[in-house]
Structure 1
Amino acid sequence: MLPPFALAQEEEATAAVIAGESVARIEALRARADVAAAFRFFQAEETRNLGDLVTLTQIPAPPFGEGPRGEKLAQMLREAGADDVSIDEIGNVIATRRGRAGARGGAPVVAFAAHIDTVFPAETDVSVRNEGNVFSAPGIGDNTRGLVALLSVLRGLNAANIQTAGDLLFIGTVGEEGLGDLRGVKHLFSEDGPRIDRLIAIDGGASDAVVAHAIGSHRYRVEFTGPGGHSWGAFGTANPAHALGRAIAVFSEKAAAITAQGPRASFNVGRLGGGASVNAVPSSVWFEVDMRSGEQAQIDALDAALRSAVAEAVEAENAWASLGDPIRAELVAVGQRPAGRGDESASLVQAAFAAIASEGFEPKALASSTDANIAIARGLPAITLSRGGRGGRAHAPDEFWVNENQHVALNVLLLVALAEAGIAER
C-alpha cells in the first residue's frame, strides 16, 4: 500500500551502511553471464510487461474480492514456467520454482510477495488509459505493477536458465489494503503456511528505498449504544452521541501528549456515523480510529489512552442522565498490524543495499506499513523493495504509473534473491 515516492506512512529515511562483503557478493553476481542474460531479458520484455500490466489492472480486486485477479495471476505464473502453482484457502496465489537443494535442503527458501488487492470497490472503472509512457487507472501502480514484477523475475530466471540452490516462491497475497489487515501474509506465516526463510515484498516505487522496519497500527470501530428516544420527550436519557463527542475530545488530548514525545506516532479519527434524525436521541453511534507508530510501545500507549477516554466518556454521560437505561460502549478491532525494527546488518538487507548501489543509486532504509510487517515484527528477515517505474496518486481514481527504467527494480529483485537463495553450479 505504499505510495511511490512520498510515503505517507514512512518514518524519516536513513542512509544505508553497506558492508564490503555485501558489495563483493553482488559484484560477483553481476559478473556472471547468466545474470547478465537475465538483465537483457528484462529490458527486452518491456512490451509484454506493459501488456500484463493492462490485463491485470482491468480485473477488479477489492479486499475480500481478489478471486478473479488471483485466478488470472495463477494462470500467468503457470505459463511463466513455475514448477507448482496453487491458491490457498484464503486466496493467496503461491508459485514455486524449485531449487537444487529443495525445501528440505540447507539453502534458504526465499519468497517474493506482491499484493493482489487494491483499495477500490468492485464497481470502480479500472479501464487503463495510455498516453506515451504514462498509464493511468485505479490500482495500476499499487500494486498491479508489483504483480508484473513478480512475473517478470520468474520469466527472467527461466530465460537465463539460472538454477538456484534454495526454492523460490512467487506469491500474490490477498488483503494487504485497508480492512484486509494483512490477512494474506498473516496466513502465510501461520502454521498452515509454506516454509519461508526470507521475504521480499514488492510494493513501492522509489528505486533507492529498502523498507527494513515496520510501522504498525491498531484500528478500532468504537460503538456507543443506548435506549434512544425523542429529543424533547426523552431528554435526560443518556445520549450515545454526546458520549462519542466527549470520548473523541478526551482521547485527542491524551493522544496528543503521547505523540508529542518519544518515537514518531500518529492518531486519526477517520469516520463516524449513526443516529436517525436531528430530533431523536440516537440509539447507536460509532467512530473509527487509526493509531500507528514504528514502535509498538507507542501504539500500546495510544491504545490504552483510547480505552481510558471511552470509559471516562461513558461514565460521565451515565452520571448526567436522569432517565432510562445507561449507555454502553464497545471497541471492535478492525485492524492490527504489528510494528518492528529490522536488522540493517542482516544478510537480506545488506544484499538489497548493495544491489541498489550497484544500479547507481544511494540506498536508504525506512519504515513503512507493508506485507513485510508480520515477518519483521517476528524477527524474521524481511524487506520491501520497489516495483519499478515511477508513479503517483496512489489510492486515487487518477492513479498513474510511468514506464521509466522499469528494469532497474527487476535487476535489484533478481540480485537480492540470488544472493540469498544461492546459485547451484552446474
Structure 2
Amino acid sequence: MDLIFANAIRRYVRDSHAEELELLRTLARIPAPSHHEERRASFIAGWLHAHGARYVRIDDEKNVICLLANPRAERKASGDAQTLAEHVKNRTLTMYAAHMDVVFADEDELPLREDDERMYAPGVGDDTANLVNLLMATKFLLQNPLARERATRKGNILIVANTCEEGLGNLDGTRDLFGEVGEWVDRYFSFDLYLPQCISVCVASERYQIDVECTGGHSYHDYGNANAIEEVCSIIEDLYRINPPIDVMDGAHTTMNVGKIEGGTTINSIPSHAMAKFEFRSSSTENIEVMRSFFNAVIERHRRELALRDEAGKVTVTTLGVRPSAQGVDAEALKRMTERSARIVKRVTGQEPDLKPASTDANIPLSLGVPANTIGTVRGAKLHTRGEWIEKKSLRQGLEVVLRLMLDD
C-alpha cells in the first residue's frame, strides 16, 4: 500500500474513533434475534443512505445490501439501482459481510454499560463491534472516491449486514444471498469473532431434534409400558458410544453434543413423549459423513425396537440445521487469499494470526467453491453470555484491518 493511502487510513481510524464508539452504543442496544433483525436492518440502511450510499436495499431475508461500484461505472449508469445492477452484473464481486443477529431473544432494548476500557452488552462483540468496523470502513470508501476506485479496481464490492448467522438461524441470510448473486462472487470476507483470528477452514455441523412417542400411562397400573424419556436416554447412550473420528493427516477433529432434553408431565405418569436435540461438528467432510451414517443407524435401530415393544411407539427426527463443509475450493487461490489476510492482521496487531477452524457465515461460500476468510476485528471475551464485553480501543486496530483488506494489494 502506498504512503498516501496508509496515512489516510491512520488519520481516519484516529479521527473517527469517538464516532465509531457512538455507533456501537446505538447498534448494540437494538435487539436482533435471529430471523428478527428488522430494527437493526432499518437503522443500518438509513445510516448508509445518510453517508452517501446510492444503492442500498433490504432483501426478503432482511439482509442489508450495499453495492459499491467503481466510480467510473457509476458515472456511466443512468443513476437508478436497477440500471446499475444490469450494467455491472457480469463483473466480479468481492463481498464483505458481518452479521446483525445476536444469540439473545430479547425484544426490548439490550442493556449496555461501559467503563474507560470496556463496553459490556449481550452480543456487543459477536457480532456488533465487527459490524460497526465494516460500516465505518464503508463510510471511508463512500467519502473518498480515490479509495473507492482503488478498492473496486478489480470488481465491484458488496457490503452486507446479514441475518441468521447464530444458532438455528442456519446461515439463512448468507445462504439466500448467495442464491441470488453467488455466481459473481469471487472472494468473501466475514468479519466475526476476535482479533487476531484469521480463518479459512470451516467447521460443518448438522443439528437434529429426536422425538419419541409411546403409549405412556399410569406409573403403577401401567408399569412396564414403554417410557419415552427412558427411550430418549437409551438413544443418547448409544450415540455417545462412538469415538468421534480424527483425521491423522490434518488434525481435523469431530465433536458431538446433546444440548437439550425434555419430556414427561408428572412424576406418577409414564411419559408418552420426550425430545432431545443433538448436533455433531467437524472440519472434515468425510467425518461429517461418518457421523451422519452412525446417527442414522442408531435412530433406525431404536425405531425398529420400539415398534416391537409398543404399537404406538414412534421415533422421528427433524433436521434443525445444516452448516455445510467446504467443497471444490481452489486450494491455491484460498491459500493466497488467507496468506494476504494473515499478513495484514499481523502487520496491524503485531500478533501471529489464529488460524483455527470455526463455523461462521463463510461456510456458505466455501461450500460453493468460493474462497472465503473469517476475520476478527475486535478484542473481547465472554461471547454468547450476557456479560460479553469488548475492549474499546481495539476497534482502531480492527477498523485498520478491514480497510487494509479492502485497499491493500
- Asked if the contact 1:133–1:404 (Cα under 8 Å) also holds between the matched residues in 2, the reply is yes
> C-alpha displacement at 1:49, in angstroms?
0.4
Q: Secondary structure at the match of 1:33?
A: helix
User: Which of the residues 366, 372, 375 maps onto 1:382?
Assistant: 372
In the other structure, the counterpart of 2:111 is 127
Amino acid aligned to 2:24: L
CA–CA distance in 2 between the matches of 1:274 and 1:195? Answer: 48
CA–CA distance in 1 between the matches of 2:351 and 2:142? Answer: 27
> C-alpha displacement at 1:340, in angstroms?
2.3
In the other structure, the counterpart of 1:138 is 122
User: Which of the residues 52, 55, 68 maps onto 2:39?
Assistant: 68
- Asked if the contact 1:115–1:176 (Cα under 8 Å) also holds between the matched residues in 2, the reply is yes
**Residue pairs, 1:91-130, within 5 angstroms:** 91-100=62-71, 102=73, 104=88, 108-123=92-107, 126-130=110-114
User: Which of the residues 311, 317, 325 maps onto 1:331?
Assistant: 317
User: Which of the residues 218, 223, 232 maps onto 2:220?
Assistant: 232
> C-alpha displacement at 1:248, in angstroms?
0.6
> C-alpha displacement at 1:131, in angstroms?
0.7
In the other structure, the counterpart of 1:220 is 208
User: Which of the residues 358, 377, 384 maps onto 1:368?
Assistant: 358
Please report the TM-score for the alignment, with normalisation by the length of structure 2. 0.88
Q: Secondary structure at the match of 1:152?
A: helix
User: Which of the residues 269, 287, 294 maps onto 1:305?
Assistant: 294
> C-alpha displacement at 1:91, in angstroms?
0.6
- Asked if the contact 2:96–2:188 (Cα under 8 Å) also holds between the matched residues in 1, the reply is yes
CA–CA distance in 1 between the matches of 2:209 and 2:132? Answer: 35
CA–CA distance in 1 between the matches of 2:192 and 2:244? Answer: 33
Q: 1:350-392, CA deviations, whole angstroms, 9 ceiling, x for partnerless residues?
A: 321232233233334331111111111222111111223x111
User: Which of the residues 117, 131, 135 maps onto 1:147?
Assistant: 131
> C-alpha displacement at 1:107, in angstroms?
5.7
CA–CA distance in 2 between the matches of 1:43 and 1:99? Answer: 26
In the other structure, the counterpart of 2:234 is 246
**Residue pairs, 1:7-406, within 5 angstroms:** 29=1, 31-100=2-71, 102=73, 104=88, 108-123=92-107, 126-161=110-145, 162=147, 163=149, 164-165=152-153, 166-191=155-180, 195-207=184-196, 209-254=197-242, 256=243, 258=245, 263-319=252-308, 321=309, 325-340=311-326, 343=331, 346=334, 347-359=336-348, 360-388=350-378, 390-406=379-395
> C-alpha displacement at 1:409, in angstroms?
2.1
Amino acid aligned to 1:311: E
In the other structure, the counterpart of 2:79 is none
Mean CA deviation greater in 82-91 or 309-318 = 309-318
CA–CA distance in 2 between the matches of 1:194 and 1:80? Answer: 29
Please report the TM-score for the alignment, with normalisation by the length of structure 1. 0.84
Q: Secondary structure at the match of 1:214?
A: coil
Mean CA deviation greater in 294-303 or 44-53 = 294-303
- Asked if the contact 2:126–2:192 (Cα under 8 Å) also holds between the matched residues in 1, the reply is yes
Q: Secondary structure at the match of 2:226?
A: coil
CA–CA distance in 2 between the matches of 1:368 and 1:109? Answer: 24
- Asked if the contact 2:232–2:275 (Cα under 8 Å) also holds between the matched residues in 1, the reply is yes
> C-alpha displacement at 1:65, in angstroms?
1.2
CA–CA distance in 1 between the matches of 2:267 and 2:340? Answer: 60
- Asked if the contact 1:238–1:318 (Cα under 8 Å) also holds between the matched residues in 2, the reply is no
Q: Per the alignment, do residues 61 and 105 of structure 1 end up closer, same or farther by CA in structure 2, a change over 3 Å counting?
A: closer
Amino acid aligned to 1:50: L
CA–CA distance in 1 between the matches of 2:401 and 2:283? Answer: 26
CA–CA distance in 2 between the matches of 1:214 and 1:348? Answer: 15
> C-alpha displacement at 1:44, in angstroms?
0.8
Segments of structure 2 that go 5 or more residues without pairing to the other structure are 74-86
CA–CA distance in 2 between the matches of 1:119 and 1:369? Answer: 15
- Asked if the contact 1:244–1:313 (Cα under 8 Å) also holds between the matched residues in 2, the reply is no
CA–CA distance in 1 between the matches of 2:22 and 2:102? Answer: 19
> C-alpha displacement at 1:228, in angstroms?
2.2
Higher fraction of helix: 2
- Asked if the contact 1:139–1:399 (Cα under 8 Å) also holds between the matched residues in 2, the reply is yes
Q: Secondary structure at the match of 1:312?
A: helix
Q: Per the alignment, do residues 193 and 89 of structure 1 end up closer, same or farther by CA in structure 2, a change over 3 Å counting?
A: farther
Mean CA deviation greater in 89-98 or 236-245 = 236-245
Q: Per the alignment, do residues 344 and 279 of structure 1 end up closer, same or farther by CA in structure 2, a change over 3 Å counting?
A: farther
CA–CA distance in 1 between the matches of 2:180 and 2:132? Answer: 29
Segments of structure 1 that go 5 or more residues without pairing to the other structure are 1-28, 421-426
Q: 1:301-341, CA deviations, whole angstroms, 9 ceiling, x for partnerless residues?
A: 1122122222222333444x3xx524111111111001227
- Asked if the contact 1:238–1:326 (Cα under 8 Å) also holds between the matched residues in 2, the reply is no
> C-alpha displacement at 1:260, in angstroms?
9.5
> C-alpha displacement at 1:282, in angstroms?
1.8
